[in-house]
C-alpha cells in the first residue's frame, strides 16, 4: 500500500479534529449553567464584657542581677494586687521579659560606649472581666509600681453568638443584592450553587461610645464590632 506524504496525513488528521470539535461546540454551550455571583457582608456591634491590658514594670540597677531583682519584687506586688482584685491566674500571662545594659553616650572622638547600668523589663498581659472595676485596677497597679501601660483593648468573652449573627446577616445581604440584580436583568434566582465565607471577623472598638467611664482612671468602653463576608453563587432559573 502506498503511504501518503506526512504533511498530507497531518492535514487530514487536523481536518478531522476540527470537524469533531465544531460538532461538539453547540452541545457544550447548551449545557452551560448560567449563574449569578454576589458578595454579602454584615457587621454586628455589641457592648464589650472583657478588657485586655498590657502593663509592665521597668527597673534599673548597677548590675543585671540588681535590676532584675528590683523588677521582680515590684512585679510580684503588682500581680498580688491584681489577684486581690479578683483576677484569675488564667487571665494573667507574662508576655515580655528582658534585661539589657544601658550605655552612656560616648563623647566625640572617644572609644566605644561603656555600660552605665542595666535595665530590666517585665510585661504582663491581663484579662479583666469586671469592667466596672477596670479604672480602679489600673490606678492600683500603677500605685504598686507598674510604670508601663501599653494600651487597653475590649472584646467579648464568647464572641461566637455575635459572629454567627453576623454570618446570617451577611447571607441575607447577599440574597437581597442578588434578587435586586436578577430583577434588573429580568431573570429569577434558581438553586444555590455555592456559599463561601470570606474572613471570619474583625474585632476592635467601633466608632461608637457610651458615657460609661469606669471609676478612678477614666476608661470609655464603647462597643466592639464583628464582621462577616460571604460569596454566594446562584443558578439563574429558566
Whether pLDDT at 236 is above 70: yes
- How confident is the model over 38-58, as a mean pLDDT? 95
Residue 205 lies in a domain: yes
**In this structure, are 227 and 183 located in the same domain?**
yes
Helices (H), the chain: 6-31, 64-84, 134-143, 160-185
Using pLDDT thresholds of 50, 70 and 90, give the confidence band for residue 202.
very low
Distance CA 156, CA 162 (A): 9
Residue 143 sits in which domain range? 50-105+115-155
Q: What is the chain's mean pLDDT, rounded?
A: 82
Cα Rg for the chain, rounded, in angstroms? 33
**In this structure, are 199 and 223 located in the same domain?**
yes
Burial of residue 9 (CB within 10 Å: 0-12, 13-18, 19+) is exposed
- What pLDDT is recorded for position 19? 46
**In this structure, are 176 and 195 located in the same domain?**
yes
More confident residue, 126 or 213: 126
Instruction: Give the CATH number of the domain where residue 130 resides.
Output: 3.30.70.2970
DSSP state for residue 112 in the 8-state scheme = S
**In this structure, are 165 and 87 located in the same domain?**
no
Percent of the chain whose pLDDT exceeds 90: 61
**In this structure, are 181 and 212 located in the same domain?**
yes
Residue 161 C-alpha cell reads as 453568638
- How confident is the model over 193-214, as a mean pLDDT? 55
**In this structure, are 142 and 85 located in the same domain?**
yes
**In this structure, are 62 and 129 located in the same domain?**
yes
Instruction: Say how many C-beta atoms besides its own lie within 10 A of residue 32's C-beta.
Output: 7
Percent of the chain whose pLDDT exceeds 70: 76
57 in Cβ contact with 78 (< 8 Å): yes
Instruction: Give the CATH number of the domain where residue 196 resides.
Output: 3.30.110.170
Residue 144 lies in a domain: yes
**In this structure, are 95 and 168 located in the same domain?**
no
Distance CA 198, CA 137 (A): 39
- What pLDDT is recorded for position 110? 58
205 in Cβ contact with 224 (< 8 Å): yes
More confident residue, 106 or 58: 58
**In this structure, are 80 and 120 located in the same domain?**
yes
**In this structure, are 178 and 124 located in the same domain?**
no
Nearby residues of 66 by Cβ (< 8 Å), 6 or more positions away: 118
DSSP state for residue 108 in the 8-state scheme = T
Rounded to two decimals, what is the model's pTM? 0.67
**In this structure, are 172 and 187 located in the same domain?**
yes
Nearby residues of 179 by Cβ (< 8 Å), 6 or more positions away: 189
- What tens digit of pLDDT does each residue of 101-130 get? 998 766 655 566 677 899 999 999 999 999
How many structural domains comprise the chain? 2
**In this structure, are 232 and 189 located in the same domain?**
yes
Among 149, 155, 157, 133, CA closest to 219:
133
Q: What is the dihedral of CA 88, 90, 92, 93, to 10 degrees?
A: 170
- What tens digit of pLDDT does each residue of 142-186 get? 989 999 988 889 999 999 999 999 999 999 999 999 999 999 999
Q: Name the domain boundary from 139, 155, 171.
A: 155
Amino acid at each position: 500500500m502506498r503511504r501518503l506524504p506526512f504533511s498530507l496525513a497531518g492535514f487530514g488528521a487536523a481536518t478531522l479534529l476540527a470537524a469533531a470539535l465544531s460538532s461538539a461546540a453547540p452541545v457544550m454551550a447548551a449545557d452551560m449553567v448560567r449563574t449569578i455571583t454576589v458578595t454579602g457582608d454584615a457587621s454586628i456591634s455589641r457592648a464589650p464584657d472583657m478588657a485586655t491590658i498590657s502593663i509592665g514594670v521597668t527597673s534599673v540597677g548597677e548590675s543585671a542581677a540588681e535590676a532584675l531583682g528590683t523588677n521582680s519584687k515590684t512585679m510580684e506586688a503588682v500581680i498580688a494586687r491584681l489577684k486581690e482584685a479578683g483576677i484569675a491566674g488564667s487571665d494573667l500571662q507574662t508576655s515580655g521579659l528582658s534585661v539589657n545594659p544601658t550605655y552612656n553616650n560616648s563623647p566625640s572622638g572617644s572609644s566605644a560606649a561603656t555600660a552605665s547600668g542595666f535595665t530590666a523589663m517585665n510585661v504582663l498581659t491581663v484579662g479583666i472581666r469586671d469592667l466596672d472595676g477596670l479604672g480602679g485596677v489600673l490606678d492600683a497597679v500603677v500605685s504598686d509600681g507598674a510604670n508601663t501601660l501599653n494600651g487597653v483593648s475590649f472584646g467579648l468573652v464568647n464572641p461566637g453568638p455575635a459572629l454567627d449573627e453576623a454570618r446570617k446577616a451577611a447571607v441575607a445581604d447577599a440574597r437581597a443584592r442578588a434578587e435586586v440584580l436578577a430583577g434588573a436583568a429580568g431573570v429569577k434566582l434558581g438553586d444555590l450553587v455555592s456559599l463561601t465565607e470570606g474572613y471570619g471577623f474583625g474585632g476592635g472598638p467601633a466608632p461608637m461610645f457610651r458615657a460609661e467611664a469606669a471609676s478612678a482612671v477614666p476608661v470609655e468602653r464603647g462597643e466592639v464590632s464583628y464582621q462577616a463576608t460571604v460569596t454566594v453563587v446562584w443558578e439563574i432559573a429558566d
